[in-house]
Amino acid sequence: MQQRTLGPFTVSAIGLGCMNLSHAYGAPVSAEQGERVLLAALDAGVTLFDTATLYGFGANETLVGRVMKPHRQRFTLASKCGMQGVDVAGDGKLVRVIDGRPATLRQTCEDSLRRLQTDVIDLYYLHRWDKQVPIEDSVGALADLVRAGKIRSIGLSEVSAATLRRAYAVHPIAAVQTEYSLWTRNPEIAVLDACRELGVAFVAFSPVARGYLCGGLTDVSTLDAKDIRRAMPRFAPEAYAVNLALLEGYFAIARQVGCTPAQLALAWLLHRGGHIIPIPGTTSVEHLHDDLGAASVQLDAATLAALDAAINQHNVVGPRYSAQSASEVDTETFA
């Protein structure tokens, strides 16, 4: 496995996003299947594992902690705070809440350390910037956690270049995590270059476009009722039908290169910059090994240009988030 730099760490060029095992795409897999995927990733050379307080409202951290505790020295552990499930109504039902107040972040960290069964989290992200709290205050609280030895480095998720610079003035930022793939080019507006300038790793989540670039999802009506893609405009039936048509040319490029569609999507990201680290997620060991094969795929300039032309911000139909979700992030958007 190729290696890349993430803050003070050297990690595999492709990490594992653990969310899919517990959250967002329908019913979570069994604990046994989650364990198989996590250990298969470790055995295959993956050394960056990414989870969050939000995923499964703590269930994903609990799974990662239980399975990975015996191997803690073999990988870099990333988790996130600032967005979690809260029993707002007092009826036992957890609701997603964004809360970046320093006291909340300190408590969330303690809860994460307990679930992850570790003394320190290597990379701790602010999952969302709480726009009611100055970014300097939230990052200042995370800096206190670094000094206390609770976390080793700080990350930010879904922030703009301007917010990254404000945060970096308070404490060095090891990584910015944002959605990035052929069909989500927002990082190219400014934050990707800002990361390169500041020496910040860029961690790309949803690098295969939430399954779109794998080619297996042809009928969105088959999605689970609780699948988050049902609320995403690009996956609305009319928009998705148009977006599906873009895949014909994309698949032709994959055949020409001699790789799978998922490998092509990940290889494109790896070629976009040495500071980019994609973290695909999966519930399947077979798919995991397919994803990791992208590290050996070589793309020449002509192929990269063909990919850029095939799927981009000009021909994909629909924004990536609903209006409500879009209001919760700080990433730049195209006009």
CATH of the domain at 153: 3.20.20.100
Please indicate, yes or no, if residue 176 is contained in any of the structural domains: yes
List the structure tokens of 59.
């269930």
Compute the Cα dihedral for 125, 110, 17, 244 and give only its sign: negative
Residue 334 resides in a domain = no
Query: What integer pLDDT is reported at residue 335 of this predicted model?
Result: 83
Residue at 80 is within a domain: yes
Neighbouring C-alpha atoms within 13 Å toward the C-beta of 184: 24
Identified catalytic residue from 25, 55, 212, 250: 55
Residue 314 lies in a domain: no
Q: Domain for residue 9, yes or no?
A: yes
Task: Check residue 4 and give its pLDDT.
Answer: 98
Q: Which residues contact 252 (CB under 8 A, 6 or more apart)?
A: none
**Domain span at 176:** 3-210+260-298
Stretches where the chain sits below pLDDT 70 are none
The predicted model scores a pTM of: 0.97
Residue 247 lies in a domain: no
Establish if 227 belongs to a structural domain. Answer: no
Q: In 199-300, which residue ranges form alpha helices assigned H by DSSP? A: 237-245, 247-257, 261-272, 285-292
Provide the b/e sequence for 68-100 (b: ≥16 CB within 10 Å): beeeeeebbbbbbbbbbbeeeeeeeeeeeebbb
Distance CA(118)–CA(112), nearest Å, equals 9
Total domains in the chain come to 1
Concerning whether 55 is annotated as a catalytic residue, the answer is yes
Residue 315 lies in a domain: no
